[in-house]
Amino acid sequence: MDDPEQDKIADSNLVEHPAGLIYDDNESVRAGSLAALVEHLTHPNKLDASFNRIFLTTYTYFTSGTELVQLLIRRYDCAPPVNLNPMKAAEWSSQAKPLIQVRVLDTLNQWLENFWTWNEPKGPETHENLLNLQSFVRALASSTQQQKLHEMTHCRLVGLEPEGMRRPRSQPSSIATSSSSSTAPKPILPRKMKPNKLQFLKIDAREIARQLTLMESCIFGKVQPNELMHKNWQRRESQDVAPNVRALIQFFNQLSGWVGALVLAESDLKPRTQVIGHFINVANACHDLQNYSAVVSILSGLQSAPVYRLGRTWAMVTQRDCDKLEPLQAMMSSEQNHQTYRNILRRAIPPCIPFLGIFLKDLVFIEDGNPELTPDERLINFSRYSMMASTIDTVQHFQEAMYCLQPVPELQEYLATELQRAVNSERLWDRSCELEPRGRWDRKRERDTYTATGGMTTAMVVACMVFD
């Protein structure tokens, strides 16, 4: 909020930087006590929107909703700084304090509207906290802000969504059935459309990519910020605290497993190479749609041990298919912490489905590699939460736009059925050895057409530990 009164206050030196804050070279908050952070959150001179967003996104790491409300109520009733003389104190009370109070009410409204749903657990403590907040709001003088805050608090108490807010997302579904715009490309349909009659090689690779993208975007769009915090996706109760991340990981694993199973299902060499080539075309079509998650999943299936060891099969893959595969491998190379992929993602404009595993890995490294408190001052290490919020913001950025594609229920039903056919990896290995017994092809390939990218899927392996 830009207000001429704020400049007037700044000129009169009535308001100083909160004591107990440490700033970095860019004058961003690096660390601070909880009281100082709340003071900065409601500073009358300056609305630091970035700081406020980071604070409200990650506050559950260093405080609770109950304590936050208590601190904000206390801040609303704050006294003038002790170093002001009586005249300056009176000036502060008439100029600075009203703006602080506006900031407090704005912060509470923002918290309830945009951050409360996924940060505050349901239970008696949360309910009691809302009742205390409601009592505080009722005692305020009537104003637009007070009325809005009263309505927001009441809606939260009775479990209603305030008007204008984004509706809560339902549980993930593997079938995308929402209508698409009339500008969506016309589906490329096979002749036989019954799910039990569909054959993988006879379905256009672009249409497979489109339907996979619709199905995956349906899950990705439901991921909530709290699912990405506190390493919730790794917890045993992840089904309750990170259901959409868990569903996305499951989709990734199923797609990767389906790739391997379909390749190994072919007993003859030529059809096996055709399946590999078709999956390469699907991966390229997913790349064109900026569905990088599916690209990585398909590559993971192709580089899985049972498929990768098929030297005779890979030797027969056409040069054209190999030429299509190499850029995808290069894009997802793990070198320099996936720098090539990160650069591509940085330039990507939604709609886009990123490979979530790298974000999950980043969040784990941020949490585990940065202390909660600064070593010397023992202040809240706000830099840690800035990095965390930045990662979560990136995920939310790619959730903003929907794909303009037309769902084909028959194809999605076929794909969902195929993906849900879990195949034991041990059985796949046995099948691989049956197709190409161990021998000279394991030791040396006549033409090494496929090079595994090493740690490409390490992040998703970490994310999937909960399923083991």
- 173 belongs to a structural domain: no
Give pLDDT tens digits for 132-173.
Answer: 999 999 999 999 999 999 999 999 999 876 655 544 444 445
**Position 464 pLDDT exceeds 50:** no
Same-domain check for residues 310 and 264? yes
- Domain hosting residue 66, numbered range: 21-158
Domain count, the chain: 2
Q: Using pLDDT thresholds of 50, 70 and 90, give the confidence band for residue 441.
A: low
Same-domain check for residues 420 and 334? yes
Same-domain check for residues 202 and 94? no
Same-domain check for residues 409 and 460? yes
Same-domain check for residues 101 and 215? no
Q: Using pLDDT thresholds of 50, 70 and 90, give the confidence band for residue 191.
A: confident
Distance CA 143, CA 102 (A): 11
Domain boundary among 129, 158, 187: 158
Distance CA 388, CA 264 (A): 41
Helix (H) or strand (E) holding 32: strand 29-32
- 14 belongs to a structural domain: no
Domain boundary among 96, 129, 158: 158
What CATH number is associated with residue 331?
1.10.840.10
Whether the pTM exceeds 0.85: the reply is yes
Q: Provide the H-helix boundaries in 289-419.
A: 292-302, 305-308, 311-315, 319-331, 335-347, 356-369, 382-397, 409-419
- 371 belongs to a structural domain: no
Q: With CA atoms as reference, report the closest residue to 419 among 174, 202, 255.
A: 255
Same-domain check for residues 202 and 289? yes
Average pLDDT over the chain, rounded to an integer: 88
Helix (H) or strand (E) holding 117: helix 116-119
Q: Using pLDDT thresholds of 50, 70 and 90, give the confidence band for residue 400.
A: very high
- 300 belongs to a structural domain: yes
Same-domain check for residues 235 and 310? yes
Same-domain check for residues 339 and 420? yes
**Position 307 pLDDT exceeds 60:** yes
Same-domain check for residues 56 and 116? yes
Same-domain check for residues 204 and 126? no
Q: Using pLDDT thresholds of 50, 70 and 90, give the confidence band for residue 182.
A: low
- 248 belongs to a structural domain: yes
Give pLDDT tens digits for 347-364.
Answer: 999 999 999 999 999 999
Same-domain check for residues 323 and 216? yes
Give pLDDT tens digits for 47-95.
Answer: 899 999 999 999 999 999 999 999 999 999 999 988 889 999 999 999 9
Write phi, then psi, for 361 (nearest 5 degrees).
Answer: -65, -45
pLDDT of residue 164: 52
Domain boundary among 109, 137, 158: 158
Distance CA 31, CA 37 (A): 8
What CATH number is associated with residue 106?
1.20.870.10
pLDDT of residue 178: 52
- 25 belongs to a structural domain: yes
Burial environment of residue 117 by CB neighbours within 10 A (0 to 12, 13 to 18, 19 or more)? middle
**Position 431 pLDDT exceeds 50:** yes
Same-domain check for residues 148 and 234? no
Distance CA 83, CA 75 (A): 18
- 359 belongs to a structural domain: no
